[in-house]
Amino acid sequence: MESDFLSQLNDQQREAVSNTEGPLLILAGAGSGKTRVIAHRIAYLIAEKKVAPWNILAVTFTNKAAEEMRLRVQRLLKDHQLSSWPVVSTFHSLCVRILRQDIEKLNDKYTRTFTIYDQDDSMRLIKLCLKDLGYDEKQLAPRATQSAISSAKNRGEDPEAFAARAEFTDDRQAAIARVYKMYEERLHTNNALDFDDLLIKAVRLLRNVPEVREKYNNKFRYILVDEYQDTNSLQFALIGFLTEKQQNICVVGDEDQSIYKWRGADISNILNFEKHFPNTRTIRLEQNYRSTQTILDVAGAVVKNNIERKGKNLWTSNPRGDKIRYYQALDAEAEARWVANKIVEHRREEFDTRAAVLYRTNSQSRVFEEAMRRAGLAYNIIGGFSFYERMEVRDIIAYLKLALNPNDSIALSRVINSPPRGIGKQTLDEIERRSKDLELSLWETISLVIKQPENLSARAINALRSFRRTIVRLGEMAGTDMGSAASDEAVQAGMWSVKQPDEQNVDEHVSDSDSPVSDIVRAAILDTGYETALRSEKTDEADGRLENLQELVNAAVDYDEQGLEGLRDFIDHSALVSDQDAYKRDAAVTLMTAHSAKGLEFPIIFIVGLEDGLFPHSRSATDPAELEEERRLAYVAMTRAERFLYVTHAMKRRVYGEELASEPSQFLNEMPLDLIDDLSLGKSWLSFARGLSTIDYEHDEHRKEKNKYTGKTYDSAESIAEFFKQRNQQMGKTSGTSVSATSWKQKPRPQEPRTPPSTNTGSEGFVPGSYVKHSKYGRGLVLRREGAGESTKLTVSFPGYGQKKLVEKYANLERA
DNA sequence: TAAAGAAAGTTTTTT
DNA sequence: ACTTTCTTTA
């Protein structure tokens, strides 16, 4: 009966689930049950509307989200006997599946055996191109080049178009254009696609080949897209083509949670959805079920400072809850320790409660890992170094890639001498030189070199011969024809063939004569000498690596047991699943970036490192739009919390190994003071802010008015002073040029409002955290002090002038 | 060629 | 601080 999937929903959610036909836009605020609605909608389509599961496609951004969605749908449909499951997939794996099926119809020489290059592979290739073109990596940073090429690709510019444009800009662009051209050629000869290509080629396939478009339109009659605000133009095009015929497209998104503009996400995809799809029905989900009123109030107060925003009315019937909690730590280590202790306290109260620690950058994770270990808390860590990014795992994967496609030169150069087998730089240079001359892949060149050694030593030739034998043997296990080019016979049947609906079934085909994936993985670890080399090291590090390889074997065994599709799929998976490593659902703590937290929820959330230049990140300081994105990110982070929200910052923190004074984030300024509980030891930044606001509370409304002001992005050193100044002005005091001109209720050293007593030596010299006055630059904050005596140098941040390095003796500084 | 030691670069967020 | 890459030495 219908009520099964509708009865537990509110009116809007029910609307969203039961309006199954035509374009549907769901604007879903944080915690409003968006995942729940999608899952219910899928279940409803299958159980009530009798739509065949294979006619439904749900697309998410991350594997985690896809996983979650699959789980929910399965739970909802557990009493139904289904012959198959709906396709729930990320954009990228959807594209891989389409391309593994049909890429040859594009007629641009790519074959179905193509290799996927992840960011690291692609970076290696770019470095090679830079080298071959004779560019200096210092002048043309590989990273920057990669990102320039990636954005060109995402804009739809091919190397020619890019070059045409670059010609008229500058040398650097022209150089990038040349790298781009070579990069594309190399990808092609390697039969490799990078992450961008996956989308580009899939879109091109759907656009150019009507037959393929038709096929997928018939297959996917109902399409759902999660996190629609973060789609880019390629993803938009993909959806457009897939849904061309039936128009049963349902997208879910929230403008306030758009945090991937830097990756090309185009918010207008959601803002203009109604234009793109006529007859769109729009439904708003505004009741939040996740968080306490207080948490929503705080998050709302922050995001309200964004100008580029339609605004919405998110409400909850949940209790008010506790105030959010604030802690000012001395440094990053103290911050982490404090957080760990708090989590322990919470778990004493409630033994199985879960917490997440959200930071802006992955580099912050380390201290937290350390602190959790010390506190004896089991933790998950998401992102950063994922399992598949470990060196040894990547090496073995490279061997496996070679087994399938020996012409993958990136994989080959990765492992040709790891473990060390006597193929050194000279040998490799010679091979590379000849491969360029003859326009052969490295693999082909090696075969040739063995026959015609020319100026290579017998020792080198022997090493090459044995390496070649190893790869050929792996290839045989994988069922690959090791001829000169990867042959099409090696293609295993596609993983989900698109058949007529009635004969559609769970997809068949466990690979035929080939060995199980786990056997090939074992062989790649043993026969290559990899294990022996690690064992002989006898270090803890090597043991750790061996364990990781054992994990890889375990993963392969699991894979075989699931009866999946063989080695290629296993490898695809490893490229696309960056953080799938054993996510322990019940671990006490999860550590991740605020970005990775999107879509998740936890009873307890810690947002750490709320400091100027860190969160918001300094890279976003110049552009108001980017600052707004940072603010949305903060909003996403805060709204992950169900019951308890903690915000912390440190007074100083090591950056590149140097200790720098840091200031509270402006986002802290934007939180309503009366909703914050200060747990800091001694006097904190917050206690000053609070002291001020109690001077004259009835002007508070006035203050709020002014606080909406976002036009200016505060200079780091000046932000709080600016903040105080504004408040003072609001309070009718004449604008003191310096903070100290105003009256302080509880004033310990008005001239250093944010410096905790401990960093204040009080002795002569300017310590980091103190303020100075310079005859030319004016007032500034001392960030760093180096050297001693006459040569003491200070790094000072002057608003409007940036950071200056001054010799203390000659700079003529005064306290300010 | 491989290992050990020195220097330089790194950190924004992700499929 | 930590990791990658370059340079020196055995």
Residue numbers 103-142 of A with CB closer than 7 A to any atom of strand C: 137
Band (pLDDT 50/70/90 cuts) for residue A136 is confident
Secondary structure in 3-state letters for A158-202: CHHHHHHHHHCCCHHHHHHHHHHHHHHHHHHHCCEEEHHHHHHHH
pLDDT above 50: residue A18: yes
Question: Would you state the pLDDT for residue A485?
Answer: 40
- The helix/strand/coil state of A690 is helix
Within residues 6-25 of protein chain A, the ones with CB less than 7 A from nucleic strand C are none
Return the DSSP state at A250. E
What is the nearest nucleotide to A657, using C1' and CA? C1
Q: Is the pLDDT of residue A777 over 70?
A: no
What integer pLDDT is reported at residue A796 of this predicted model?
Answer: 65
Query: Nearest CA to A571 among A409, A393, A442?
Result: A393
The answer to whether A366 CB is within 7 Å of strand C is yes
Q: Where are the alpha helices (DSSP H) in A639-684?
A: 666-669
C1' of nucleotide C3: residue with nearest CA: A656
* pLDDT value of position A801: 52
Q: Measured between alpha carbons, how far is A57 from A42 in angstroms, rounded to an integer?
A: 9
**Which of chain A's residues 657-676 bind strand C, using a 7 Å CB cutoff?**
657
Instruction: Please tell me whether residue A582 adopts helix, strand or coil conformation.
Output: coil
Secondary structure class of A303 (helix, strand, coil): helix
Do strands A281-285 and A249-253 pair parallel, antiparallel, or not at all (unpaired)? Answer: unpaired
Which positions in strand C are less than 7 Å from the protein's CB atoms? 1-2, 4, 6
Chain A residues 389 to 408 with C-beta below 7 Å from nucleic strand C: 391
Nucleotides of strand B under 7 angstroms from a protein beta carbon: 1-3, 9-15
Structure tokens at A208: 């150019």
Estimate in Å the CA A141 to C1' C5 gap, whole number: 15
The pLDDT, as a whole number, for residue A787 is 59
Sequence-separated (6 or more) residues with CB below 8 Å from residue A140: A130, A172, A175, A176, A179
Smallest CA–C1' separation from A575: which nucleotide?
B15
Highest mean pLDDT out of A201-205, A505-509, A699-703: A201-205
A275: left (phi over 0), alpha (psi -120 to 50) or beta: alpha
Q: Give the CA distances from residue A397 to residues A435, A486, A570, A580, in Å, rounded to whole numbers and listed in that order.
A: 24, 18, 10, 16
In whole angstroms, give the CA distance from residue A393 to residue A418: 12
- Shortest CA–C1' contact from A422: which nucleotide? B1
Q: Which protein residue's Cα is closest to nucleotide B12 at C1'?
A: A361
- The percentage of chain A sitting over the pLDDT mark of 70, rounded to a whole number, equals 81
Query: What separation, in Å, do the N-terminal and C-terminal C-alpha atoms of chain A show?
Result: 74
Mean residue pLDDT across chain A: 81
Q: Tell me, in Å, how far CA of A519 is from C1' of B3?
A: 33
Distance, CA of A140 to C1' of C9, in Å: 32
Checking if the pLDDT of A778 tops 60, the result is: yes
Q: Average the pLDDT over each of A448-452, A544-548, A588-592 and give the range with the smallest value.
A: A544-548
Candidate from A143-152, A392-401, A571-580 with smallest mean pLDDT: A571-580
A793 CB less than 7 Å from any atom of strand C: no
Give pLDDT, residue A90: 93
Please give the pLDDT value at position A144: 86
Tell me, what's the pLDDT at A751?
Answer: 28
Question: What would the 3-class secondary structure string for A504-549 be?
Answer: CCCCCCCCCCCCCHHHHHHHHHHCCCHHHHHHHHCCHHHHHHHHHH
Q: Any idea which nucleotide's C1' is nearest the CA of A629?
A: B13
Q: Mean pLDDT lowest for which of A468-477, A541-550, A694-703? A: A694-703
Say if residues A365 and A613 touch (Cβ distance below 8 Å): no
Task: Check residue A501 and give its pLDDT.
Answer: 38
Q: Which tokens sit at A36?
A: 């729940």
Cβ contact A772:A753 at 8 Å: no
Q: What is the CA radius of gyration of chain A?
A: 29
Task: Tell me what pLDDT residue A49 has.
Answer: 93
pLDDT at A387 over 70: yes
- Per-residue pLDDT, A622: 84
Q: What is the pLDDT of residue A172?
A: 80
Nearest nucleotide over every DNA/RNA strand to the A91 CA, judged by C1':
B15
Under the banding of pLDDT at 50, 70 and 90, the label for residue A730 is: very low
Q: Which residue has the higher pLDDT, A169 or A587?
A: A587
Residue nearest B13, CA–C1′ metric: A595
A188 Cβ contacts chain C strand, under 7 Å: no
Higher pLDDT, A110 or A749: A110
- Nearest residue to C1 via alpha carbon and C1': A657
Q: State the nucleotide closest to A61 in CA–C1' terms.
A: B15
Q: Where is pLDDT greater, at A303 or A130?
A: A303
Is A178 (CB) below 7 Å from strand C? no
What's the mean pLDDT in A474-478?
A: 91
pLDDT at A700: 39
Q: Is the CB of A810 under 7 A from strand C?
A: no
Q: Could you check: is the Cβ of residue A656 within 7 Å of any atom of nucleic acid strand C? A: yes
* pLDDT average, residue stretch A700-728: 34
Q: Is the pLDDT of residue A724 over 60?
A: no
CA–C1' gap, A123 and B5, in angstroms = 27
Spacing of A79 CA from C3 C1' in Å: 52
Tell me, what's the pLDDT at A785? 66
* pLDDT at residue A715 is higher than 50: no
A678 — pLDDT class (breaks 50, 70, 90): very high
How many Cβ atoms from other residues are within 10 Å of residue A126's Cβ?
23
Q: Distance from residue A536 (CA) to nucleotide B3 (C1'), in Å?
A: 15
Nearest nt (C1') from A127 Cα: C5
pLDDT at residue A499 in the model: 39
The separation, in Å, between residue A262 CA and nucleotide C1 C1' comes to 28
Q: Does the C-beta of A654 come within 7 A of strand C? A: yes
Q: Is the pLDDT of residue A503 over 70?
A: no
So which residues of A are the catalytic ones? 34-35, 226-227, 257, 640
Rounded to two decimals, what is the model's pTM? 0.79
Q: Average the pLDDT over each of A709-713, A724-728, A779-783 and give the range with the smallest value.
A: A709-713
Pairing mode, if any, of strands A281-285 and A24-28?
parallel
Q: Which amino acid is at A495?
A: M
pLDDT digits (tens, 9 = 90+) for A388-414: 778 888 889 999 999 998 988 889 988
- Rounded mean pLDDT of A596-616? 94
Report the length, in residues, of chain A. Answer: 816
Protein CA at A601 to nucleotide C1' at B4, angstroms:
48
The gap between A581 CA and B10 C1' (Å) is: 25
Which nucleotide lies closest to A93 by the C1' atom and the CA atom?
A: B15
Least confident of A173-182, A373-382, A396-405, A698-707: A698-707
Q: Tell me, what's the pLDDT at A325?
A: 97
Higher pLDDT, A391 or A751: A391
Asked whether residue A712 carries a pLDDT value surpassing 80, the answer given is: no
Are the beta carbons of A517 and A560 closer than 8 angstroms? yes
Does residue A32 or residue A734 have the better pLDDT?
A: A32
- Condensed to tens digits (0 to 9), the pLDDT of residues A184-197 reads 998 998 899 999 99
Residues A209-258 have pLDDT tens digits of 999 999 999 999 999 999 999 999 999 999 999 999 888 999 999 999 99
From the CA of A3, how many Å to the C1' of C2?
58
Q: Which residues pair with A614 in a beta bridge?
A: A617
Closest nucleotide (C1' vs CA) to A370 is C1
Distance A498 CA to B12 C1' (A): 40
Most confident of A111-120, A281-290, A475-484, A799-808: A281-290
Q: Give chain A residues 135-174 with Cβ within 7 A of strand C.
A: 137
